[in-house]
């Protein structure tokens, strides 16, 4: 801790006293006096600097004291607020305790009332059982007495209800017949008015469909080339048409006739169709050979530039597929 202001004042007074004593003691010696004066002045300067530092420290402590006083006032205000909150919560807790006590008292009263009501209910149930037994006996007597009357009334009611049902059924049938006839009349009127327009529209739509079918040729049906398309492709290839121009030839021929072609044929599809035709021809030849009664086989061979060429064919009685019936047979020669 730095020295206090009083301590510094006392030290300054002592220093002055020492300086006065030294001046009186060494007045004769000027050289010593000068040295002592310088030393005293230096000590006085140091003491004044310390005094200034202590005054600044005092001011700083006063400002800190003021801040602490402000904080204490704020804390006192907060303490007062918390005291008020504590009082309010204490009051709320007190009221809540009183309410819970009242609720417990009410619950006890209700439990007593429930027990009383249970007892009363048991007594009432016993009374009701006794009365119900008496009423059952009385009802048995009354039912025996009223059975005869009920049987007579039931016969009469059945007779009159049958007649009423018959009359109501006749009335309902007549109403339904009337409504049906009215509906038929209205339907016939509507049909007669709309029949001409419907027939005209149907004829026009049929004509349009026929024209569309005639003016359009589908190369495929459900994603598969039709037999007519396959026959045209084989015929074009047999005639010497290139496989790359099969589709262009077919489309140009159909376009010249005013028919639109739907679909396309590639070179690979043409090769596949020719291969399928070759396999079908082999199957057809085997079928004809199986069904033929007699066959004549022949073969011939030649060479050209050291290459041998052999030709084999069969002559048999086969069906003529050009005719519509297909039952007539004629002699035919097939090459292997």
* pLDDT tens-digit series, residues 179-237: 888 888 888 888 777 877 777 777 777 776 766 666 777 888 888 888 888 888 888 88
Lowest-pLDDT range of 19-28, 134-143, 148-157, 294-303 = 19-28
- Over its C-alpha atoms, the chain yields an Rg (Å, rounded) of 67
| Structure confidence at residue 308 as a pLDDT band (50, 70, 90) | very high
Domain that holds residue 281: 224-291
Contact 333, 314 (CB under 8 A): yes
Provide mean pLDDT across the span 226-252. Answer: 87
**Any domain includes 127:** no
Same domain, 270 and 236: yes
Q: How far is CA 14 from CA 10, 44, 334, in A?
A: 6, 11, 156
Residue 100 has pLDDT above 50, yes or no: yes
- The percent of residues in the chain predicted with pLDDT above 70, rounded, is 90
Q: What is the 3-state secondary structure (H, E, C) of 118-145?
A: HHHHHHHHHHHHHHHHHHHHHHHHHHHH
Residue bearing tokens 């290459």: 307
Under DSSP, is residue 295 helix (H, G, I), strand (E, B) or coil? strand
Give pLDDT tens digits for 11-33: 777 777 777 776 676 566 666 65
> Which residues lie across from 318 on neighbouring strands?
330
Same domain, 286 and 255: yes
Same domain, 328 and 287: no
Q: Alpha-carbon distance 164 to 158, whole Å?
A: 10
Better-predicted residue by pLDDT, 5 or 319:
319
Residue 74 has pLDDT above 80, yes or no: yes
Task: Tell me phi and psi for residue 320, to 5 degrees.
Answer: -95, 105
**Any domain includes 20:** no
Q: How far is CA 279 from CA 181, 285, 286, in A?
A: 68, 10, 11
Count how many Cα atoms sit within 13 Å of the Cα of residue 194 in the half-sphere of its side chain. 6
Angle at 140 between CA 135 and CA 141, to 5 degrees: 100
Residue bearing tokens 């004809």: 288
**Any domain includes 252:** yes
Provide mean pLDDT across the span 95-119. Answer: 86
Contact 44, 15 (CB under 8 A): yes
Tell me what pLDDT residue 1 has: 45
Residue 44, Cβ density class (10 Å: 0-12 exposed, 13-18 middle, ≥19 buried): middle
- Cβ neighbours around 98 below 10 Å, total: 10
User: What is the number of structural domains in the chain?
Assistant: 2
Rounded to whole angstroms, the maximal C-alpha distance in the chain is 179
Same domain, 265 and 233: yes
Q: Alpha-carbon distance 14 to 8, whole Å?
A: 10
**Any domain includes 320:** yes
Q: Alpha-carbon distance 208 to 214, whole Å?
A: 10
Task: Tell me phi and psi for residue 301, to 5 degrees.
Answer: -145, 155
Q: Alpha-carbon distance 175 to 179, whole Å?
A: 6
Q: Which two tokens stand for residue 127?
A: 């009374």
Predicted structure pTM score: 0.36
Q: Alpha-carbon distance 279 to 167, whole Å?
A: 82
Q: Which two tokens stand for residue 77?
A: 């205000």
Provide mean pLDDT across the span 84-88. Answer: 85
- The percent of residues in the chain predicted with pLDDT above 90, rounded, is 6
**Any domain includes 248:** yes
**Any domain includes 79:** no
Tell me which DSSP letter residue 4 carries. P
Q: What is the mean pLDDT of the chain?
A: 81
Better-predicted residue by pLDDT, 282 or 149:
282
Provide mean pLDDT across the span 134-155. Answer: 80
Residue bearing tokens 């006192």: 76
Residue 44 has pLDDT above 50, yes or no: yes
**Any domain includes 11:** no
**Any domain includes 325:** yes
């Amino acid at each position: 801790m730095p020295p206090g202001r009083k301590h510094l004042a006392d030290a300054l007074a002592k220093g002055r006293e020492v300086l006065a004593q030294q001046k009186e003691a060494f007045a004769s010696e000027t050289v010593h006096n000068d040295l002592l004066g310088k030393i005293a002045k230096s000590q006085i300067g140091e003491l004044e600097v310390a005094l200034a530092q202590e005054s600044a420290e005092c001011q700083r402590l006063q400002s800190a004291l003021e801040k602490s006083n402000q904080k204490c006032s704020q804390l006192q205000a907060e303490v007062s607020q918390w005291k008020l909150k504590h009082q309010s919560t204490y009051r709320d807790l007190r009221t809540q305790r009183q309410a819970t006590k009242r609720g417990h008292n009410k619950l006890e009263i209700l439990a007593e009332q429930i027990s009383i009501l249970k007892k009363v209910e048991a007594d009432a149930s016993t009374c009701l059982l006794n009365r119900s037994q008496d009423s059952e006996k009385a009802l048995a007597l009354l039912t025996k007495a009223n059975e005869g009357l009920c049987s007579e009334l039931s016969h009469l009611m059945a007779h009159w209800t049958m007649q009423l049902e018959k009359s109501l059924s006749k009335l309902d049938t007549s109403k339904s017949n009337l409504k049906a006839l009215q509906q038929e009349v209205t339907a016939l009127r509507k049909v007669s008015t709309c029949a001409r327009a419907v027939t005209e529209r149907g004829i026009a739509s049929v004509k349009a469909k026929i024209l569309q079918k005639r003016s359009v040729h589908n190369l495929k049906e459900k994603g598969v080339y039709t037999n007519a398309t396959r026959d045209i492709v084989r015929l074009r290839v047999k005639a010497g048409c290139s496989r790359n121009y099969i589709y262009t030839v077919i489309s140009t021929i159909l376009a010249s006739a005013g028919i639109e072609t739907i679909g396309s044929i590639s070179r690979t599809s043409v090769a596949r169709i020719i291969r399928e035709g070759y396999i079908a021809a082999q199957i057809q030849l085997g079928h004809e050979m199986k069904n033929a009664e007699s066959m004549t086989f022949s073969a011939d061979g030649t060479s050209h530039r050291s290459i041998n060429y052999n030709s084999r064919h069969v002559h048999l009685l086969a069906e003529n597929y050009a005719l519509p019936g297909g039952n007539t047979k004629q002699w035919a020669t097939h090459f292997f």
